[in-house]
Amino acid sequence: MFKLKQIIICAIFLTTSLVCAQQLPQFTQYVYNTMSVNPAYAGSRETFSATALHRNQWAGIEGNPTTSTLSVHAPVKFSRVGLGLTYINDQLGDEGTNYIYGNFSYTVPLSQKVNMAFGLNAGVTNYSLENPDPLDPFFTDGFTKWNPNLGAGIYVSSRMWYIGLSSPRLLNTDLNQGEFAAIERNSYYVIGGKVFDIGGATKFKTTAIAKFTNGAPATYDVTANLLFFDKLWVGASYRFNDADNFGAMVDYQLSNSFRVGYAYDLPTSAIKPYTGGTHEIILIYEMPIKRLGGIKSPRFF
C-alpha cells in the first residue's frame, strides 16, 4: 500500500522505538512555538504575535517528514481572555495531515509578577493519502478524512520562568475508520523553563519539554541557551527516546517587531547514515508595546 520510501521510514521509526501513527510533530524551537502544544499560551505575549515555522526532518531521505506551522494569538483588550489560531501541515511521503485549531485562554493573576492561564482549543484534523498504487482500485482517487478534536492546558508564568501542562488532542481518533493504520493519538505535554541573569549583558536560559503519547514511548527535550544583549540567542538541545537528536540553534532579534531563528538537528541513532540532519527555521512578528514612553521589557518565553 505504501511506497518503498515510506516503508523504509517506518522501519527506521520502529528500530528507534517509535510507532508509525499520526502524532503531533515536535519541534526543536518548541519554546517559541508553545501554542501548538498548549492553548493556555494564547495571549501570554501581551501583544499580537505571529509565528511561522518550517521543519525539514531527515533531509536527504526521499519522502522525509516536513512540517510547516503558522500561529497567531493576542490578548483581548480590557479582559483576561486570549485568543489564537494554529495551523499545522505535516507531510510524510504520500501522507498529509492538516491541523486547524482555535485557541482560548483565561488568565488569573497569582501576584504582581505571576499569572496562571487556563486554555481550551477545538478544531479539525484532516488526514489525506495520495494514490500510492495506480493498480489499487481503493486508492484510485486517493483518500481524505476530516475529524474534530479538542484539547486543554494550563500555563503558569512570570517574566523569568514558566511551567505548563497540556493535552492539545484529548481524543484518540481513527482518521480512516480502520481502512489502514492512521490513528490520531492523544498526547500530554509538560513544559518548563527559567532565565538566569549571569551578569553584564548575558543571560542563561534553560528549558525542557516532555511528551507522553498513548501507545508510544515518552520523549524528552532539554535545551540550554545564552542570550547576549537581549538580541542574540545561541544554544544547544538534546532529545531522548525519539531517534536521539543533538541540536544547535541560533536566534536573532532583528528589530522590535521581528525575530528569526534557525536550528539544526543531527540524529545519533540508526537513521544517522541515511540523512544530512534536520533543518528548522522560524520567523516571529510581534506588534511592539510602548509603556511609559518606551518599549516594554523583553519577554523570554
Give the pTM.
0.86
Question: Which residues in the chain show pLDDT less than 50?
Answer: 1-9, 11-21, 292-295
Residue 169's alpha-carbon distances to 28, 103, 161, in angstroms, are: 20, 12, 25
The model's pLDDT over 132-148, given as tens digits with 9 standing for 90+, comes to 666 666 555 667 888 89
Give me the pLDDT at residue 16, please. 39
CB-hemisphere CA count at 13 Å for 47?
A: 18
**Beta-carbon count within 10 A of 260 CB:** 13
Q: What CATH class does 4-295 carry?
A: mainly beta
Beta strands in 29-80 (DSSP E): 49-56, 66-75
Q: What are the residue boundaries of the structural domains of the chain, listed by start?
A: 4-295
Give me the pLDDT at residue 143, please. 75
Give me the pLDDT at residue 184, please. 74
The model's pLDDT over 164-204, given as tens digits with 9 standing for 90+, comes to 999 998 987 766 655 555 567 788 999 999 999 998 899 99
Residues 6+ apart with CB under 8 A from 88: 24, 25, 36, 67, 68, 69, 97, 98, 99
The model's pLDDT over 65-91, given as tens digits with 9 standing for 90+, comes to 999 999 999 999 999 999 999 999 999
Give me the pLDDT at residue 300, please. 83
Give me the pLDDT at residue 63, please. 84
Give me the pLDDT at residue 1, please. 39
